[in-house]
Amino acid sequence: MMHAIVERLSNAGHLDRIFVDGQWVRPVGHGRAAVVDPSTQDVAAEIALGSRQDVAAAVAAARDAFVEWSVSSIKSRVSLLDRVHALILERAEVFAYAISLEMGAAISMARSAHVPSAAAHIRVASENLRRYPFVSHREGMTIAREPIGVCGLITPWNWPLYQITAKVGPALAAGCTVVLKPSELSPFSALLFAQVMHDAGAPAGVFNLVNGEGPEVGAALAEHPDVDMISITGSTRAGVLVAQAAAVTVKRVAQELGGKSPNVVLPDADLVRAVPGGIAAAFRNVGQSCSAPTRMIVPRDRLAEVERIACETVSRLVVGDPRSERTTHGPVANAAQFNRVQEMIGAGIAEGARLICGGLGRPPGLERGFYVRPTIFSDVHPKMRVAQEEIFGPVLSIMAYDSIDEAVEIANDTIYGLGAHVQGRDLDAARAVATRIRAGQVHINYPAWNAHAPFGGYKRSGNGREYGLEGLEEYLETKAILEHSDKQPA
């Protein structure tokens, strides 16, 4: 199936093209990027990269299409979103294998999380569109919520399809047109999604895709005067650069950036549930999630028990070939990320954190591929690098506290504020702690993922919100209409 994905894209000509104004076209530039299979380190394929000229063409197409799409009926937009949703589900297995190939997700993870969650973003956008009050009245005026315009969408390599639909769905629902720049490191699912948009009957120019690198295509989108909004998911560094480039034209910038999320285990928590659940959440997607709870904050008098359960949990993980049904965790997505994780594990050892499982290098028997040993440190001090810096790999820091106030202080001792977790039997106590944590989303006792729940960060984790109604509203402007009347009351 892996070779079939590349063959499918190659035969369709998509590897050499971008999608602009409803057509697959060859980019003006001659840049190429190798897409590496992280499980083997072999080049799976090469894709063509766009240029600033290609961005200009895509933006012009989106600007022209906005004239009609912005005033299209709710019924027609719902119909398009529903067709896109149906096609993603219909092609779910193809998407799952593409994601596994391009960024190393275990096929079971791609099937159970990456693809269905991506489809859910489109479904939720359709549901919200059906019921959203675009026009309301209060205190003698009309309040209209109108599409902001042409939106540049910049998405990352770690959840490639999921982050695309999280932006494209609400943008189209709002009546905006879009130019998407997916990560050039994991572009296969994006190319497949562009074909879904075509096959679903999206009007020409409503959806455009330009592959390319950040300094070229991303910067061109951020700077372009006819782009009304940029939505970026990526590193804090990338978010800052995009915001700086966008500031000249005073466009709206929505950012979902880095994280260093805490998981506060309260004294009454059931450790048999809390600890394995915390490791599953932290190591989900091989730790390559911006909201991963990679700091487990636990009562000091229960530290030894936490460590024992944690090591037992890690021993049951199966790291290996992402195409194997037995594998729970594949490789990290690329060479740069592999090197970053190794650097940070080394930093934890050098700074005196106590390594209780995992460590440097690949797991035994895996000599090739970007495989990482699931790693846990204990006795981690809040100022250590492993406690402060986003690692983006399967590395967990266990930190002990003596009081609830100290636990909250440790949880908030970060420049980030994207997600957080709290574990405890007493829900009132858990809720009280949740309200004190400075983060955009807090999970108590590992609830199911909810595609309607708004997601976004405090502090350097970004601005704005995605998902749910709040995600839709990011793509809307607010207009107040006030009238004067000479009519006298009877």
490 belongs to a structural domain: no
pLDDT per position as a tens digit, 221-279: 999 999 999 999 999 999 999 999 999 999 999 999 999 999 999 999 999 999 999 99
Q: Which residues are catalytic?
A: 256, 290
Closest CA to 461 of 262, 258, 235: 258
Asked whether residue 237 falls in the same domain as residue 321, the answer is no
Amino acid in the structure at residue 403: S
Dihedral angle over CA of 290, 348, 303, 382, nearest 10: -70
- 102 and 222 part of one domain: yes
- Please indicate, yes or no, whether residues 234 and 157 belong to a single structural domain of this protein: yes
Token pair, residue 425, equals 């039997």
Helix axes 188-199, 2-11, angle to 10 degrees: 50
Looking at the structure, do residues 213 and 293 belong to the same domain, yes or no? no
The residue among 298, 273, 270, 295 whose CA lies nearest residue 407 is 298
Q: Are residues 251 and 270 in the same domain?
A: no
Q: Are residues 431 and 466 in the same domain?
A: no
Q: Could you say which DSSP state residue 200 is in?
A: T
pLDDT over 80 (residue 210): yes
DSSP structural state of residue 299: E
CA atoms within 13 Å, Cβ hemisphere of 28: 11
Indicate whether 182 and 224 sit together in one domain.
yes
Is 485 a member of any domain? no
pLDDT digits (tens, 9 = 90+) for 298-315: 999 999 999 999 999 999
Give the integer Cα–Cα distance in Å for 29 and 11: 21
Give backbone dihedrals phi and psi of 139, rounded to 5 degrees, phi first. 50, 45
* Arithmetic mean of pLDDT, 188-214: 98
| Phi, psi (rounded to 5 degrees) for 279 | -70, -40
Whether 106 and 284 have beta carbons less than 8 Å apart is answered as: no
Same domain for 209 and 165: yes
Question: Does 488 have pLDDT greater than 90?
Answer: no
* Alpha carbon distance 82, 157 (integer Å): 25
Task: Examine residue 407 and state whether it is found in any structural domain, yes or no.
Answer: yes
Q: Give a yes or no: residue 282 inside a domain.
A: yes
Same-domain pairing of 209 and 339: no
Residues 223 and 365 in one domain: no
What is the three-class DSSP state of 234?
Answer: coil
Residue 483 falls within a domain, yes or no?
no
Total of domains in the chain: 2
CB-neighbour burial class of residue 481 (10 A; exposed 0-12, middle 13-18, buried 19+): exposed
Range of the domain at 179: 2-257+462-478
Q: Which CATH number is 11's domain given?
A: 3.40.605.10
Instruction: Give the separation between CA 184 and CA 469, rounded to whole angstroms.
Output: 30
DSSP 3-state assignment of 433?
A: helix
Contact 169, 121 (CB under 8 A): yes
Q: Are residues 287 and 141 in the same domain?
A: no
pLDDT of 219 higher than 90? yes
For residue 296, the domain's CATH number is 3.40.309.10
Whether residue 457 is contained in a domain is answered as no
Residue 95 and residue 160 in one domain: yes
